[in-house]
Structure formats: C-alpha cells, structure tokens
Amino acid sequence: MLADDVPRPVLLAALASGSARRIRRGAYLFDGPATGASRTADDERAAALALTQAVDRQLDGEHWFCGPTAALVHGLPLAELPQQVHVLTRTVPGRGASPDLVRHRATVAPTDVEIVGGLPVTSLERTVLDCARSLTAREGLVVVDAAVRRGTDRAALVRRLEGTRGRGVVRARAVLDVADGGAESPGESLARYTVLRHGLPAPRTQIEVATHLGRFRADMGWLPWRLLLEFDGFVKYSTLSGGDPARTLFEEKRRQEAIEEEGWRVLRVTWPDLRHDGQVAARVRRLIPDGASVPQVARPGLW
C-alpha cells in the first residue's frame, strides 16, 4: 500500500506491531508478523513483486519494467532476487534518483512490451534476452532454461541476437548455446552450469533409468559414462515431503540403490556445494570410468 492508501494511525500501529514494513519511500507492505529468517523464499519473492507494484504506482510517465524485474513479473525463476527495480523510461533523471530504482533509456518496439498482472513489462522474449545479456552467465542460464521449458523458442532467441552488438552479447550467445528446457528448477540449472563452466561435456537432462522398482528419472547425466548428477534441494525433504520427510528420505535411498544396481554412479549436489563449483566439477571427474574419453570443451562466454 502507498502511504495515502491507509490512515496514518493505522499505518503507525501496523509498523509498531510488525505486521507492516516500509519497502520504499511512501510504500508499505502488509505481510504479517513474519520477519528475518522466518520469511520463506516465496515471501521474499512476493515482497519483490510488491516493490515493483509500488514503483509502478509512483512513477509518472510511460514506463516498462525490464530485465530481472520483468522476469519476476513474468513468473520466471531467478537465481537471486533483484535488489533494485529495473525500468525502461524515455528519460533518465540525474540527481535525486531513488537508490532502489534503475532507469534504462532505450528504444523498445511495440511488439516488445505487454501488460502482465496489471504491470507494463517487456515481452517474455525481450525479457529473456535482456537477462541473458545483463545478468551473470549462471544467473542468466536459470532464466533462459525456465523460459525454454515454458515454450520459448530458443532458435528464435538466437536469431534475434544475430547481428546484435554491444555489452553482454557474447555472454548471451554462450548461455543460449547451452540452454536446456529439461532443467526443472534453478538448482538443476546452476548444477549444470557448474560442470559446463569447467569444460565437461554437456550432460543430458531428465535421463530415464529402468530398475527393478520401476522407471526413474534423474536430473542429468552422461550416458557413455553411466554417471548421473542429481540436485538435492531442501524443499524435496520439507515442503514436498507431504509432512513425512523421513519417508521421503527412505524412498529416495531405495531409488538410488535401485539405480546403482543397474550399474550407474550417482553424484548428489546441494545448494552449499554450488558455492564451490570447481569442487563439484572435480567430483564429477573422479567418478568418470578409467580410460573413458573426456573431452575438454571451451566455453569462454560462460566465464
């Protein structure tokens, strides 16, 4: 809510009780008493979206949200939530600009803008390309993978980059080259980025393995080496466990044992592991069968 939306005594009482918090000058988020570590990732994403809505109401003149802010509005996952709101405007003010707002001055075609959830944003295709160019390669891959999985034509994105020059184009081309809609979560995209960055051949995503317990799908792996890489997010054993994390853990153990009985090796990677991507790549290399051919693939744009 904007300050003008609520009587001042009500606002002051909500701030005092912790049921509201200031998200920018003149704008407040009423999201209950949850604070600090008690806020979930969904809570923080909702807060980032609320900040975007506040900026939209406070900005004068024509504008369109772009880059990671547009990705947020489009519902695409992000490796990191944007700390600032990115917006395209016809003019960029000098002194006195808000620190939580980044204004970009650029031309935009009518076909590259739309309204999503009541907010003016760059189109999905334009948003994905902007993110691939402006974010780091690892962050950009999360966005591009998710968009391709949703149905965005990767070849069309590549065509739009042809003949384009400027900052981030080389990185965007490298990200598009390795994008894979088989990634089902940001963690899977980041795990794949780790091995790609360190020169390993691209893993195949969503590998189906037949076992005596039935058919299972692994996140990614290398068929010639019978080596699988699984990303383990905490949500699997908490939110998605149906209230029985012990049962989920037991079933996951049986699944892995059945897969290993078929001659596969399984490497599990967690969020903390991704902070040390060189170690993850080294672990993969240690599990490659002796004598196997391991080409080193140069991907300079991913650095």
pTM of the model: 0.90
List domains and CATH numbers for the chain.
40-135 (no CATH), 201-295 (3.40.960)
**What whole-number distance in Å separates Cα of residue 285 and Cα of residue 163?**
37
The pLDDT score that the predictor gives to residue 38 is 67
Query: Where is 260: in which H helix or E strand?
Result: helix 245-261
The pLDDT score that the predictor gives to residue 107 is 81
Structure tokens at 209: 């393995």
**Which residues of the chain fall below pLDDT 50?**
235-238, 240-241
Please name the residue that has the structure tokens 């997010």: 233
SS3 226: coil
The pLDDT score that the predictor gives to residue 242 is 57
The pLDDT score that the predictor gives to residue 235 is 47
Sign, CA torsion 190/191/194/197: negative
Non-local CB neighbours of 257 within 8 Å, separated by 6+ positions: none
The pLDDT score that the predictor gives to residue 243 is 60
**What whole-number distance in Å separates Cα of residue 209 and Cα of residue 231?**
16
